[in-house]
């Protein structure tokens, strides 16, 4: 398969490196990462150690079998506009937050799949990505139902040793992931702690309250997400990724804009009753972002 990974941050680089062991992969990202990957290849460290040799460039190629979108949620609209001029057979978003697939589907002329990914990664240096944890890429039609395109993509991922499953209940999976991200990302970023620090208050802390609110909003918009399920998934992710620094904590530590609008902000936007915990977390992160913009 000819796969173009749009967004060569930590997750895009890791997936690109893993998929390049079986497929023709092009990483689209920024300098100096792209130049290093082009000259020396991509070094994967951590859970598995190997040197991958995807192509790398800063602009989109004209097309391919699959565009795998791994950019930050706030860059989706720009990527969608660029993809509109390309010819891909399918597009898959593995981004955090809600609404990415809708933005992509409005622009591109091919099936758009939604994905959630629990692989853990961290960019160490240009050309070097740390593989911090194995996981699963779960993908499917963002509106639900079986998708032959999703089956093909999942099979291609598995052929490269990337654990992947095509599912028919993608809307529920997206809200489950949102509940975990709403719980973990902002709290760890504000407290500057690894995910495992949240395990001290299972079912009872700020993170659990954010997950509870998210499950309630999911049900308000017609997605069947019981509160217990949102809480147990959050506890499971905290346990399994205890040593990880969440993507939002990494953004804050590196002084980058965060995905707060697509995570806790998305919960607030879709809620028909008050969601004070998500609202407070979103406001605090936006205050941090304003401070960052002033510096």
Among left, alpha and beta (phi > 0; psi -120 to 50; other), residue 60 is beta
**Stretch (H or E) spanning 165:** strand 164-166
- Least Å distance, CB 246 to ligand PAF, is 4
- Least Å distance, CB 194 to ligand PAF, is 9
Under 8 Å CB-to-CB from 62, ≥6 apart: which residues? 86, 87
Which residue, 14 or 180, has its beta carbon nearer to ligand PAF? 180
Under 8 Å CB-to-CB from 115, ≥6 apart: which residues? 92, 93, 94, 137, 138, 139, 140
Q: Is 72 a catalytic residue?
A: no
Q: Which of 33, 177, 216, 245 is catalytic?
A: 177
- Least Å distance, CB 248 to ligand PAF, is 6
Which residue, 138 or 185, has its beta carbon nearer to ligand PAF? 185
- Least Å distance, CB 35 to ligand PAF, is 27
For residue 166, what are its two tokens? 């095509």
Which residue, 17 or 120, has its beta carbon nearer to ligand PAF? 120
Phi and psi torsions of 49, nearest 5°: -120, 120
- Least Å distance, CB 190 to ligand PAF, is 14
C-alpha span between 49 and 36 (Å, rounded): 18
Which residue, 47 or 107, has its beta carbon nearer to ligand PAF? 47
- Least Å distance, CB 135 to ligand PAF, is 9
Q: Would you call 25 helix, strand, or coil by DSSP?
A: strand
Give the interface with ligand PAF as residue ranges (CB under 6 A): 96, 180-181, 184-185, 195, 237, 241, 244, 246-247
Tokens 């659990």 sit at which residue?
A: 208
C-alpha span between 121 and 244 (Å, rounded): 9
Which residue, 26 or 247, has its beta carbon nearer to ligand PAF? 247
In 3D space, the residue among 147, 146, 127, 149 whose CA is nearest the CA of residue 36 turns out to be 127
Angle at 70 (CA atoms; ends 67, 74), nearest 5 degrees:
115
In 3D space, the residue among 292, 270, 156, 157 whose CA is nearest the CA of residue 219 turns out to be 270
For residue 91, what are its two tokens? 């597009």
C-alpha span between 147 and 169 (Å, rounded): 11
Which residue, 93 or 244, has its beta carbon nearer to ligand PAF? 244
Angle between helix 227-240 and helix 206-220 axes, rounded to 10 deg? 140
DSSP letter at 231 equals H
Q: Looking at the annotation, which residues are catalytic?
A: 177
């Amino acid at each position: 398969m000819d796969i173009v990974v749009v967004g060569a941050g930590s997750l895009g680089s890791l997936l690109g490196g893993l998929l390049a062991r079986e497929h023709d992969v092009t990483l689209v990202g920024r300098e100096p990462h792209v130049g290093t990957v082009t000259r020396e290849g991509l070094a994967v460290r951590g859970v598995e150690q190997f040197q991958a040799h995807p192509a790398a460039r800063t602009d989109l190629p004209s097309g391919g079998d699959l565009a795998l979108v791994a950019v930050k949620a706030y860059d989706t609209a720009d990527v969608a506009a660029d993809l509109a001029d390309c010819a891909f057979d399918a597009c898959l978003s593995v981004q955090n937050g809600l609404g990415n697939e809708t933005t992509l589907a409005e622009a591109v002329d091919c099936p758009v799949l939604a994905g959630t990914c629990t692989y853990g990664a961290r960019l160490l240096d240009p050309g070097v990505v740390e593989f911090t944890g194995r996981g699963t890429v779960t993908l499917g039609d963002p509106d639900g139902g079986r998708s032959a395109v999703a089956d093909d993509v999942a099979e291609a991922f598995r052929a490269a040793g990337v654990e992947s499953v095509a599912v028919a209940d993608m809307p529920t999976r997206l809200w489950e992931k949102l509940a975990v991200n709403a719980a973990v990302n902002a709290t760890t970023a504000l407290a500057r702690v690894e995910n495992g620090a949240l395990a001290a208050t299972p079912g009872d802390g700020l993170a659990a309250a954010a997950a509870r609110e998210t499950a309630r909003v999911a049900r308000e918009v017609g997605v069947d997400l019981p509160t217990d399920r949102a809480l147990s998934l959050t506890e499971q992710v905290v346990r399994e990724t205890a040593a990880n620094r969440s993507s939002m904590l990494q953004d804050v530590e590196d002084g980058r804009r965060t995905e707060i609008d697509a995570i806790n902000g998305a919960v607030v936007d879709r809620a028909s009753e008050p969601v004070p915990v998500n609202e407070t977390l979103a406001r605090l992160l936006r205050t941090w972002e304003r401070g960052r913009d002033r510096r």
